[in-house]
Every structure is written in structure tokens, then in C-alpha cells.
Amino acid sequence: MGKVAILSNVNIDMVSKLLPNQDKVFQPQGYGNAFSLLLNENSDLAKFSASVLFFIVDITSLTASALTYEDAVSSIDEWFSDFQSCVKPKIQYFISDVSFRKEYIEDTDDLTSSRLEAYWLDNLMALIDKYTNIHRFSLTEDVNTMGKASFYSEKLWYMGKIPFSSQGCRALADHIALQLKILESTPRKVLVLDLDNTLWGGIVGELGRNGIQLSDDKIGALYRDAQRMIKQMQKHGVILAVNSKNNPEDALEVINQHPHMVLREDDFSSIKINWESKPQNMQEIACELNLGLDSFVFIDDMPAEREAVRSLLPMVEVPEFPDTVEALPEFFRQIYIKYFQKLRMTREDTEKTRLYRENAKRNILEKSLDYDSFLENLKINIERVPCDNTSEIRLEQLLQKTNQFNLTTKRYSHEDIMEMKQNNWCIYLFRASDKFGDYGIIAAVLVNTAGSCPLIDSFVMSCRVMGKQVENYLIDYVESDLLKIGYQKLIAEYIPTAKNAPVKKLYDGLGYQRIGEEETVIRYEISLADRPLRSYHIHNSSERNSL
């Protein structure tokens, strides 16, 4: 865990004290002076150098002296303008939304308190749009779950300027700890689902299509709502798959034809309905989707099936199944928060299901042809795209998430990328498509041009296009571009990690000469004018040069 500081305009010490890993939590002296602590370079907070900052804002105190909506608005404006003057790159900020402890005295139609909460939220959204390192912390979710009467405490407020009860402090600390965990863990990608008693009630093989529980009321509606939750997850980029012991005809009939099914065949990127063992099916799904099992979460109501997957495939996350049906929709929401939630979305996420479905089709084609004709047949198209505001988000994501095809595994942030652009690094981003569809932006090569000889600082490629000789083309493209600019030589590096063994010999294979070998890094060099011929099958139509 990185170092974290919890700041507030009220006494928040108790929340800080309740967090795990106390040695990495800033222990503030006093409260209410968060901004001066932030701005003063000699403050305890500055010396502590936190990498994550939480701002828990008590709107009641912030606007305490305001008598009108306009007065309160100017207090909020002032807070946001103060905050913006403190924002630094390389720190992740979580800013709370707000909830009045005590609402204003108002007539039925005034809505002052609610309007101010919304005004805060609008300002926060504007900040989030502007800075990629600012995120929302949902204080209101904790307040709503617990209720104001339990979350806040008048006694503690008047005795110690702590607005929250002991329960409230604990809820906040738990929520912050969860948020930190999400920030540091790599989100999972695939949700693998059982069918009977998971997506619907009962066993379709015994009860038939009309006997299962899936409907618009009572228990059937719980399963429908659970499916709606899963559908929302899919919209947020989670890849869905089915792993079920059933007669495929029975189960597919429900999936395709049952009037209350929310999830249909097309929503699943891979479907395994058969009498094979679940671990075996799981491996086939991974193979088909070309994704590691360590990105899988498996949901099954049967303890024995969960145990089988857990013991044979320990890298798959297998959460316990809820004891009661009514817990099911919320269970899936929590699964999303715990395993899949990310801080930012790009277009590729929303299109993932399609991408992976197309990939599964490609893999079926792959089996039936010899490899060169397979690649030729794919009609792969690679296009360089400019590094602009839209593609930068994807670049950051590629750098953060790519583990296998990642030569140096340097996890650059958005601000780092901005700096590279300022320093005139050559940034190559590539989009790929083939006859089955568009992969989106799948690779990046970052060339540091500061030295006398350019250096490939980072080379990452999505596993979706691995094994298609795409890298040969990409390197050729970069080299010929650099040669055109006037460089004669190019340096490259491989930094081994636990996961990037697949590219260990990449530069050797591309004809680079080893010029230095240490335990942590192998350095290579190539002369740009006489590089070897490499084989690839790229059908380019619209290449855009010199961007």
C-alpha cells in the first residue's frame, strides 16, 4: 500500500486511526487546515509525501455560516478553487460527495439543501473530467446504507468536532480501505457464471423451460434483477461467460427464448454447457478468450463446484455464494465493486464483449488452416493513431495493465505521458483490425529521443493480437520512421518480470545485437539502415505517416 492521508474540514482522526497499515497513514495534528498543510512545503503532510489523498468533506460545517443558497454556493466555490490550487500530478485524490447532517430550515418547496448537494456534485464532476487523478469517494453511499441517525452523532460533534458516530467512523474507514485495495489491485476481466440456481431458480433439466423461476414477480424477479445487475457489469466492460453442467439444448432454449431472460446468447463471449468438469471448461474458456485464468471470477451456487475450481485453479477468484435468494442482486453489485471496478473507462471497455466474441471466432478459424495462410486470411490492418486526449487514456491503460507483452513494464501515469510529449518523445500508438472486426488501440512504442541515440523506453502490446506477427510490423514501422527522421541507430531494453517471459527473446528474434547484459536489464542495439527482413501479414489500406 502506498502512503495515504485522510483530510477533512472536521475532525477525522478517528477514521485515520481505524485504517489498516497505520505506519502508512498520515496522522494529522488538528483539523480544518487541510489546504494550508497541502500548500506549505514544510508541513508534516508534505514531508509525509502521501501518494493517495482522501478529502472527506462535511458540507454542514463548510456552509455553516451561510444563510442563503447563494452564500453557501460561494463557500463551495471557494473550496473548489482552494483545492485546485493544491492539486499535484502523481497523487491520486479521492474527494467525497456530500450529505447534510442537518438540513437548512426551509419551506416545502425550497430544496436548498438538496440543491447544494447537487451543486457540490456538479463541481466534483467537472474536476474529475479535468484531472485523471481525481476520483469520487461516495460518502453518501455510507450515509444511505446506515441512515443519518446512526452515521452522524450530535454528541461527538459538540464534544470533539467529530460529526460521525463510532459506527460512522468505522464505515468510512472500511470504505477507504476498500477503495485503496481497488486502487492497487489489477481488476479482473471475466465473469464466469453457472446457470441453474444462479441465473434462474431451479434446475432446467428437471423442471423444463416453464418450470424454472425467472419472472416479473416474487422469487423469479430476484433472478431477473440479478441478471440486470450482470448486464450492467457487461456494459462496464466485464466479459461474461457460461460454465454449466446441463444439456446444451435445454439451457440454450432458456437463454434464447425465455421471455424474462435479460442476458442472451450474444451477451456471453464464451459458452460452455456440457457435462465436462467445470475446471476443464474454465481452461477452455480461457483459451478461447485468450485471457489468463488469473483474470477470472467464477460464480456457482454449488459448494462442490466452487471447491473443485478453487483447488484445481487457485488463480480463479471464487467468491462464496449468498445464503438467501434475496441477497442475489446486491451480491452481484458487490462482486463488481470488489473485483471489476476501475477508476476510468475508455471506449474499448464498452466494446469488449464484441471484441472477445470475434476473437473466439478467430481461434476456431485458426485450427482449420496452416498458420501463414491463417494470418494472410485474417487481413490484418494496422494504422498508426495520433497521441491525443482520447487515445492517451487508452495509452495509460495499456501501460498500466499489460503484463505479458511488455518489454520494460514501466507503469507510467497520465502526467508522465504529458511530460514525454513535452520532451518530444516519439510516441507510436497503433490500432488494429481484421476481417472479424476492430481491436481498437492495441500497442504502443515510446521512444525516448533525449540521448544521442534514440531508446525504446517502452513497448507494450495487448494479448489480443499476440501470436500474429504484428510486433514485427510495428518495430519495422518505428524503425523506418526513425530512419526517416535521420537517426542511424536504435537502442532497446528488456527488463524481465514474473510475467513477461513470452517476450524474453523478442529483440533477439528481431535481429537486434545484445550490447549489455545485467540481471535486471538486457540492452540491445540495431543499425536502422541495414535491419533484417521480417515476416508479417499486414494488409494496410490507410496508413497515416509522420503524425
Q: Which is nearer to other proteins, 148 or 431 (CB)?
A: 148
Of residues 149 and 364, the one with the C-beta less far from other proteins: 149
Q: Kindly tell me which of 166 and 480 has the beta carbon lying closer to other proteins.
A: 166
- Work out which of 153, 234, 243, 402 binds other proteins, going by CB under 8 A: 153
Angle between helices 166-184 and 139-146 (to 10 degrees): 140
Number of residues that bind other proteins (CB under 8 A): 15
Q: Which of 65, 70, 107, 158 binds other proteins (CB under 8 A)?
A: 158
**In this structure, what DSSP letter does residue 501 have?**
G
Give the nearest distance from C-beta 363 to other proteins in angstroms.
55
Can you say whether the dihedral through the CA atoms of 520, 526, 532, 534 is positive or negative? positive
Which among 153-161, 397-405, 465-473, 491-499 is the span making contact with other proteins, rule CB under 8 A?
153-161
Q: How far is the CB of 14 from other proteins (least distance, A)?
A: 6
State in angstroms the smallest separation of the CB of 156 from other proteins.
5
What is the distance between the alpha carbons of residues 95 and 137, in angstroms, rounded to a whole number?
5
The reply on whether position 167 binds other proteins by CB under 8 A is yes
Question: By CB under 8 A, which span of 164-172, 183-191, 400-408, 486-494 interacts with other proteins?
Answer: 164-172
Instruction: Give the Cα separation of 490 and 229 in Å (integer).
Output: 50
CA distance 515 to 358: 41
Binding mask 252-271 for other proteins (x = CB under 8 A): --------------------
Q: Which of 165, 269, 381, 402 binds other proteins (CB under 8 A)?
A: 165
Residues 169-228 touching other proteins, rule: CB under 8 A, are: 169
Cell of 296: 477470472
Binding part of the chain for other proteins, among 51-59, 150-158, 229-237, 374-382 by CB under 8 A, reads: 150-158
**Could you tell me if 214 and 201 are in contact, meaning their C-beta atoms sit under 8 angstroms apart?**
yes
- Interatomic CA distance for residues 376 and 347, integer angstroms: 28
Q: Which is nearer to other proteins, 22 or 424 (CB)?
A: 22
Taking a C-beta distance cutoff of 8 angstroms, is the pair 151, 171 a contact?
yes
Encoded one letter per residue, x for contact with other proteins by CB under 8 A and - for no contact, window 3-32 reads ----------xx--x---------------
- Spatial separation of the C-alpha atoms in residues 75 and 65, rounded to whole Å: 9
Helix (H) or strand (E) holding 376, with range, is helix 371-378
In angstroms, the CA 51 to CA 2 distance is: 6
> Can residue 386 be called a binding residue for other proteins (CB under 8 A)?
no
- Verify binding: residue 147, other proteins, rule CB under 8 A: no
Candidate residues 30, 67, 107, 159; the one interacting with other proteins per rule CB under 8 A: 159
> What SS3 class is residue 457?
strand
Cα-flanking dihedrals φ and ψ of residue 540, to 5°?
-90, 135
Percentages of the chain per state (helix, strand, coil), in multiples of 5: 45, 20, 35
Question: Which cell numbers in the block locate residue 448?
Answer: 525516448
Q: Which is nearer to other proteins, 19 or 355 (CB)?
A: 19
**Which residues are at the interface with other proteins (CB under 8 A)?**
13-14, 17, 150, 153, 155-156, 158-160, 162, 165-167, 169
